[in-house]
């Protein structure tokens, strides 16, 4: 069973999935963050490969990407980082990258090296399935799960398409907008989840705009995973002693997910 499949098998509360930008605030922080996140209850980590033109990201991840690029973080450096992280952590790891750096690297070569580094899946926010053929074939060959995305405005045809081809889980983008912290869940999120649920048996993980314990608690019982990015990235960039702040924040989310489950949906 793959690490991602094992993650969702027989889960009680939703998995907590953390996003961090590789190389922000520096590479040492990335390497230190994953074991720390793991010890605080995180169940899987998305490693963001920085890109010069992050179209779906809000200001926090945009700035983290620019800073990482200024430090010379390349896709090759991200692959090396994943390899080092894999030596210290057994968590499922996914790369989140815009398509051009992967296209430039060569999709087949990138998949081979990602798999060799111990990465389990790929999330490419600007690669709809219509354009994903090449990467899909390469990722399959190397047992990497190419995770499909859906948005609240996705019509039934597209839900069906993604449900049929997504692997590992389906990434539900909670809102029509960019990444970044919000205080409340967008209205209609339960309906969105239910619409997808009626057409797919894959685990559903919800991300974009999730940054509070209250939001996490409300999602418990609705989805198999909750993805939190900008808040963690912001805390990691908040100063030299980011570790206690990140640990406290993540533990709080985890508790909320567990308690939310006990309280029932």
Partner 1 sequence: MKVMPDERGYFGGFGGRFVPEVLMPALEELTAAYAGARTDPSFQEEFHYYLQRWSGRPTPLYAAERLSRLQGRARIYLKREDLLHTGAHKINNALGQGLLAKKMGKKRIVAETGAGQHGVAVAAVCALLGLACVVYMGEEDVCRQAPNVQRMRLLGAEVKAVTDGSRTLKDAINEAIRDWVTHIESTYYLLGSAVGPHPYPSLVRDFQSVSGLETREQFLALTGRLPDFIVACVGGGSNAIGIFHPFLQDRRVRLIGVEAGGRGLDGDEHAASLAAGRVGVLHGAKSFVLQDKTGQIRSTHSISAGLDYPGVGPEHSYLKCSGRASYVVVEDGAALEAFLLLSRTEGIIPALESAHAVAYALELAGSLKKEQTIVVNLSGRGDKDLGIVGGALEVE
Which residues have a Cβ under 8 Å from the Cβ of 145 and sit 6 or more positions away?
2, 4, 94, 120, 121, 122, 139, 167, 168, 169
Q: Which one of 19, 24, 105, 242 is in contact with partner 1 (CB under 8 A)?
A: 105
Q: Which one of 26, 32, 80, 126 is in contact with partner 1 (CB under 8 A)?
A: 126
CB of 135 to partner 1, least distance (A): 11
76 sits near partner 1 (criterion: CB under 8 A): yes
Catalytic entry in 57, 120, 145, 224: 57
CA-based max dimension of the chain: 48
127 sits near partner 1 (criterion: CB under 8 A): yes
Q: For CA atoms 238, 219, 183, 253, give the dihedral sign.
A: negative
70 sits near partner 1 (criterion: CB under 8 A): no
102 sits near partner 1 (criterion: CB under 8 A): yes
**φ and ψ at residue 56, rounded to 5 degrees:** -100, 10
101 sits near partner 1 (criterion: CB under 8 A): yes
Give catalytic status of residue 46 as yes or no.
Answer: yes
Cβ atoms within 10 Å, residue 124: 23
**φ and ψ at residue 32, rounded to 5 degrees:** -80, -30
108 sits near partner 1 (criterion: CB under 8 A): no
CB of 77 closer than 8 Å to CB of 49 = no
Report how far residue 30's alpha carbon sits from residue 23's, in angstroms, rounded to the nearest whole number. Answer: 6
Give catalytic status of residue 131 as yes or no.
Answer: no
Catalytic entry in 13, 38, 46, 224: 46
128 sits near partner 1 (criterion: CB under 8 A): yes
**φ and ψ at residue 168, rounded to 5 degrees:** 90, -65
| Contacts (CB under 8 A) with partner 1, residues 198-257 | none
Q: Length of the chain in residues, anyone?
A: 265
265 sits near partner 1 (criterion: CB under 8 A): no
190 sits near partner 1 (criterion: CB under 8 A): no
Active site residues: 46, 57
| Residue numbers at the binding site for partner 1 (CB under 8 A) | 51-56, 58, 62, 66, 69, 74-76, 99-105, 125-128, 130-131, 149-155, 158, 162, 173, 176-178
């Amino acid at each position: 069973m793959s690490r991602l499949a094992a993650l969702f098998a027989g889960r009680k509360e939703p998995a907590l999935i953390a996003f961090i930008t590789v190389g922000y605030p520096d590479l040492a922080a990335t390497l230190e963050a994953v074991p720390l996140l793991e010890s605080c209850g995180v169940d899987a980590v998305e490693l963001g490969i920085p890109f010069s033109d992050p179209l779906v990201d809000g200001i926090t991840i945009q700035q983290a990407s620019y800073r990482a690029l200024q430090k010379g973080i390349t896709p090759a450096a991200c692959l090396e980082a994943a390899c080092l992280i894999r030596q210290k952590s057994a968590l499922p790891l996914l790369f989140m990258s815009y398509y051009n750096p992967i296209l430039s690297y060569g999709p087949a070569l990138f998949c081979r090296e990602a798999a060799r580094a111990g990465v389990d899946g790929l999330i490419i926010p600007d690669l709809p399935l219509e354009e994903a053929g090449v990467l899909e074939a390469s990722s399959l060959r190397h047992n990497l799960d190419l995770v499909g995305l859906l948005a609240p405005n996705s019509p039934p045809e597209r839900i069906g398409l993604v449900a049929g081809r997504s692997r590992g889980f389906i990434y539900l983008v909670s809102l029509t907008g960019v990444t970044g912290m919000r205080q409340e869940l967008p209205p209609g999120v339960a309906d969105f989840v239910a619409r997808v649920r009626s057409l797919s048996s894959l685990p559903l993980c919800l991300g974009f705009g999730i940054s509070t314990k209250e939001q996490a608690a409300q999602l418990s019982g609705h989805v198999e995973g909750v993805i939190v990015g900008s808040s963690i990235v912001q805390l990691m960039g908040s100063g030299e002693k980011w570790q206690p702040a990140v640990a406290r924040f993540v533990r709080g989310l985890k508790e909320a997910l567990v308690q939310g489950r006990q309280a029932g949906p």
